Amino acid sequence: MTHAESQELLLDLAYGELDAERAALVKSHLQGCAECQQEKAALDEVRRLAAPVRELEEPPPGFDDRILEAARAQAKLEHDGNVGQVIDVAGSFRPLGVEAARIDAHGPVKARPAERRRPRWVVRAAVGGSVAAAAALAMVVGNTLEARRNAEKAAAAPSEEYAIRVGPAAPTAVDAALRDAEAKRAEAPAQAPKTEAPPAPAPPPGLRQKEKTAQLGSAQRKAASPLAGRGEGSGGDAPAKLSKDVARSRNARTDDLKGNLETVRTREADRIASSPGASASGASAALESAPAAAGRAAVASPAMAASGYESSAQQARHAGNYLQAADLYRRAADARRQEKDPGSAAWNLAHAVECLSAAGRFDEGRQVRDELGRTYPSEATALSAARRALREVEPQPAVR
């Protein structure tokens, strides 16, 4: 075993990840190598010091209750063959939107198997356009984030024909619990000092159902969001109003939505209206004839911190506004570069590529990918994510 090989394997040795044969090889190298010995000793020392990290801590009493309740409800649901809520999708739909949902970097990566294999109690898809797209969209819907995003996307795609039908609402314990958990997380006060105004929707806006944030005066809205106050003139307000109109027209067009999805969507509309950054996103999706104005309002301030761009980009992405998200990610990348954070910058560019792909702008996506490879040659993972995004959504006979 060479010195270099041994160096590579010291960690594996320390954590017992080597088979007996290779462990013996490393150990025999160690005997004659002062440098490796020293390194191994340093490693062991830190591990000894860090021993308390390994002590298991128990979650507080009552932790299990809600989870078990949800688990039982779900098991019963399936056992009884209750299909729960069903979405029927008709018409043609951009398959790329689905892809983009799938490549959401912040979603539970392994936890979206619904799109890979539909559970056995799934579902009829009334197909009027792209078979692959409709099939991918037909899924059993709880009020999960994914479902909401899909509904949002469906509602936000103005140029597409669509119809969504949701079966009789039968909210499961799982959905209710998850919704609560998400809302709690969204509302949980950050560890940083709290802001003053109590009803201010903290960005990124959570799922504050009760607060009629849309009714906040514009002054309050400005106080509530870092984006609003710095908007260009009235730019912070106009999109909010637009998005309310969008929400209204959405209501009109999706009368078929019933039950929980309804409340979720309304809540989402409130959310959009309450946050100028997001509202601009909502508006820009619906008003593709005037994307420039909406875009300008959302990204008005050059002083906006990189993390602000990232959050806005995330929101735009989740709302299905991929072009805007891509733009915001690229701005975030610039800001990160100025902060001397090449890792985050590279990843922001990779996200931009994903979003551009999702929007069907493959040429631009490739340009950004090239920029990423050129500027951050050492960020191989980000680059490969960008490549993956481009390859995955390359127009091709869609077969999963």
Partner 1 sequence: MAQERTDEELLAAYQQGDPGAFEALLRRHRAPLFTFLLRMLGERERAEDLAQETFLRIVKGAPAWEHRARFQTWLFTIARNLCVDQSRRDRFRRADSLDAQGPGDEPAMVDSVPGREIDPGRGAESARLRPVLQRALLSLPAEQREVFVLREQAGVPFREIAEIQCVNENTVKSRMRYALEGLRKALAAAGISEETAAEEPDPGVRLGRA
User: Among residues 128 and 167, whose Cβ is nearest to partner 1?
Assistant: 167
The CB-of-21 to partner 1 minimum distance in angstroms stands at 16
The CB-of-281 to partner 1 minimum distance in angstroms stands at 15
The CB-of-389 to partner 1 minimum distance in angstroms stands at 13
Nearest to 277, CA basis, from 233, 318, 239: 239
The CB-of-285 to partner 1 minimum distance in angstroms stands at 22
Among the listed residues 91, 95, 97, 203, the single contact to partner 1 using CB under 8 A: 203
Q: Which residues lie below 8 Å from residue 192, measured CB to CB, with a gap of 6+?
A: none
d(CA 79, CA 252) in angstroms, rounded, equals 37
| Contacts with partner 1, 258-297, as mask; x by CB under 8 A | ----------------------------------------
User: Does residue 194 belong to the site contacting partner 1 (CB under 8 A)?
Assistant: yes
The CB-of-261 to partner 1 minimum distance in angstroms stands at 16
CB atoms within 10 A of CB 274: 26
Among 178-186, 240-248, 257-265, 355-363, the segment contacting partner 1 (CB under 8 A): 178-186
User: Does residue 21 belong to the site contacting partner 1 (CB under 8 A)?
Assistant: no
> 87 pairs with which residues across the strands?
166
Using CB under 8 A as the binding criterion, the count of chain residues that bind partner 1 stands at 85
User: Among residues 247 and 389, whose Cβ is nearest to partner 1?
Assistant: 389
Q: Across 55-127, where does the E strand assignment appear?
A: 87-90
The CB-of-49 to partner 1 minimum distance in angstroms stands at 5
Packing angle, helices 20-31 and 3-14, rounded to 10: 120
CB atoms within 10 A of CB 107: 16
Binding residues for partner 1 restricted to 25-84, rule: CB under 8 A:
42-60, 63-64, 66-68, 70-72, 74-76, 78-79
d(CA 343, CA 347) in angstroms, rounded, equals 6
d(CA 352, CA 333) in angstroms, rounded, equals 9
The CB-of-292 to partner 1 minimum distance in angstroms stands at 26
Could you identify the residue written with the tokens 């797209």?
Answer: 133
Binding residues for partner 1 restricted to 82-111, rule: CB under 8 A:
106-111
Using the 8-state DSSP alphabet, how is residue 252 labeled? H
The CB-of-286 to partner 1 minimum distance in angstroms stands at 25
User: Among residues 227 and 246, whose Cβ is nearest to partner 1?
Assistant: 227
Using the 8-state DSSP alphabet, how is residue 51 labeled? G
d(CA 337, CA 101) in angstroms, rounded, equals 27
User: Among residues 206 and 295, whose Cβ is nearest to partner 1?
Assistant: 206
Q: Counting every residue, how long is the chain?
A: 400
Instruction: Give the CA count within 13 Å in the CB-facing half-sphere of 40.
Output: 19
Question: Tokens standing for 111?
Answer: 């936890």
User: Among residues 119 and 256, whose Cβ is nearest to partner 1?
Assistant: 119
User: Among residues 254 and 348, whose Cβ is nearest to partner 1?
Assistant: 348
| Contacts with partner 1, 113-152, as mask; x by CB under 8 A | xx-xxxx----------------------x-x--------
Binding residues for partner 1 restricted to 294-333, rule: CB under 8 A:
305, 307-308, 310-311, 314
Q: Are 281 and 321 in contact (CB under 8 A)?
A: yes
User: Among residues 78 and 371, whose Cβ is nearest to partner 1?
Assistant: 78
Q: What angle do CA 368, 356, 391 make, to 5 degrees?
A: 80
Could you identify the residue written with the tokens 């010195």?
Answer: 3
Among 172-180, 268-276, 281-289, 353-361, the segment contacting partner 1 (CB under 8 A): 172-180
